[in-house]
Amino acid sequence: MDAGLEQWTDFNVAMLGATAALAGLVIVAASVNIREIITSGTLTPRLAAGISALVLALIVSGMALVPEIDPVWFGGLIIFATAVAGAFQLNATRVIARDPATEDRARVAKSVAGFLPIAAYLAAGVLLVAGQPGGLIMAAAGALLAIVSAILISWIVLVEVLR
């Protein structure tokens, strides 16, 4: 499977650059309205969850580039990093669930997008620990979902702060 991971080098290099750039842009964009974001009850945890998904993609893509990394260790590290990012998403979901201004229907929608990359990365880690090369495909899906999710969450936060 080590040869399989080497075949993903170009993808991981691209994801590493894309997620690092996007994380930086999200942080800069948020800093323009940081006072309003911080005073909001739900925006700060949601933005933190979006950024943590990008950091998760950055970490996994970076770890995949470590020469001769053992796939089982790689899978275990993905599971650990996913648990940390998942804690941010769980916190955001908890805050959204307690927000009286959020409609019941909107609560689910505001939370689901953040869990998609978490679920993909968790599946990737479990598959890699189990010795299944399909974990690499799930990790790729996690990276792409992290980008889409973070863009969506960041856009919603930046629009909501101006309402």
Average pLDDT score over residue span 94-113: 75
> If pLDDT is split at 50, 70 and 90, which confidence band does 29 have?
confident
DSSP-assigned letters across all residues of 87-155: HHHHHHHHHHHH-TTS-HHHHHHHHHHHHHHHHHHHHHHHHHHTT-THHHHHHHHHHHHHHHHHHHHHH
pLDDT tens readout for residues 41-100: 788 898 999 999 999 999 999 999 999 999 999 999 999 999 999 999 999 989 888 877
pLDDT value of residue 115:
93
pLDDT value of residue 53:
94
Q: Does position 124 have pLDDT exceeding 90, yes or no?
A: yes
Dist CA 49 CA 89 (whole Å) = 5
Dist CA 99 CA 101 (whole Å) = 5
Q: Does position 1 have pLDDT exceeding 50, yes or no?
A: no
Indicate the pTM of the whole model.
0.89
